[in-house]
Amino acid sequence: MSDEKFPGWHGTTILAVRKGGEVVVAGDGQVSLGQTIIKGTARKVRRLSPGGKDVVCGFAGSTADAFTLMERLEKKLEASSGQLARACVDLAKDWRMDKYLRNLEAMLIVTDGEGLFVLTGAGDVLEPEHDVTAIGSGGNYALAAARALMDGDLPAEAIARKAMAIAADICVYTNGNLTVETIRKHPNPEAPR
């Protein structure tokens, strides 16, 4: 976020872990303004269901901006028959080109249980290489911890919870009040969601 527009706003860690046929998205609950904690129980991970397709979305940045982007993503998913990659690319194009959207200060992690993407206002649609991705103030701490835990026997949710606990211990803009959503990969695309 630009410090000129939003001085001192911090306070999000969102982590996604894909392992064992499921994707877990975890987000902390802290919102800070400068050195003050404004709220400790924010819910930054949401489940969307456009056209009956389950998608989990975690956001970092301005809440209002993130909700605007999630609403746009839902519309793109409906227009693309639930194809997450296509919807993400279409949203990123709009985000980069539209003067109104270009001013939105947020990032998203989205998954449908198969695809896992990070969307940015710069027009990026990124897929993680190691089945782990993170955004926000404590994102790098959570990412490093999760990557270190991936080779063990822990399932995705346990990895996400441990990594978020490590991030909360290190990053002053991250707390241990988690919202965790799990979405499972369906081997058969026709299987009920």
The percentage of the chain sitting over the pLDDT mark of 90, rounded to a whole number, equals: 60
Comparing C-alpha atoms, which of 185, 58, 47 is closest to residue 117? 58
pLDDT at 8: 42
pLDDT tens-digit series, residues 9-26: 457 899 999 999 999 999
Band the pLDDT of 61: cuts 50, 70, 90: confident
Reply yes or no on whether the pLDDT at 66 is more than 90: no
Q: Counting Cβ atoms within 10 Å, is residue 172 exposed (0-12), middle (13-18) or buried (19+)? A: middle
pLDDT at 7: 40
Rg for the chain (alpha carbons), in Å? 16
Q: To the nearest whole number, what is the mean pLDDT of the chain?
A: 87
pLDDT tens-digit series, residues 147-186: 999 999 999 999 999 999 999 999 999 999 999 999 997 6
Reply yes or no on whether the pLDDT at 193 is more than 60: no
Q: Which fold has domain 9-171?
A: Glutamine Phosphoribosylpyrophosphate, subunit 1, domain 1 (3.60.20)
Comparing C-alpha atoms, which of 78, 88, 27 is closest to residue 49? 78
Helices (H), 36-187: 63-79, 84-97, 99-102, 139-149, 156-170
pLDDT at 172: 92
Reply yes or no on whether the pLDDT at 29 is more than 90: yes
- Quick check: 138 and 105 in contact, CB under 8 A? no
pLDDT tens-digit series, residues 121-137: 777 899 998 999 999 99
Reply yes or no on whether the pLDDT at 51 is more than 70: no
Reply yes or no on whether the pLDDT at 42 is more than 50: yes
Q: How many Cα atoms sit within 13 Å of 60 on the Cβ side?
A: 27
Secondary structure element (H or E) that encloses residue 57, with its range: strand 55-61
SS3 label, residue 22: strand
Tokens 């993503």, located at residue: 73
Secondary structure element (H or E) that encloses residue 186, with its range: none
Comparing C-alpha atoms, which of 157, 75, 168, 69 is closest to residue 109? 69
Query: Global pTM?
Result: 0.88
Q: Which residues are known to be catalytic?
A: 12
Q: What residue segments make up the domains of the chain, in order of their start? A: 9-171
pLDDT at 186: 60
Reply yes or no on whether the pLDDT at 54 is more than 80: yes
Comparing C-alpha atoms, which of 55, 28, 56, 57 is closest to residue 43? 28
pLDDT at 10: 55
pLDDT at 169: 96
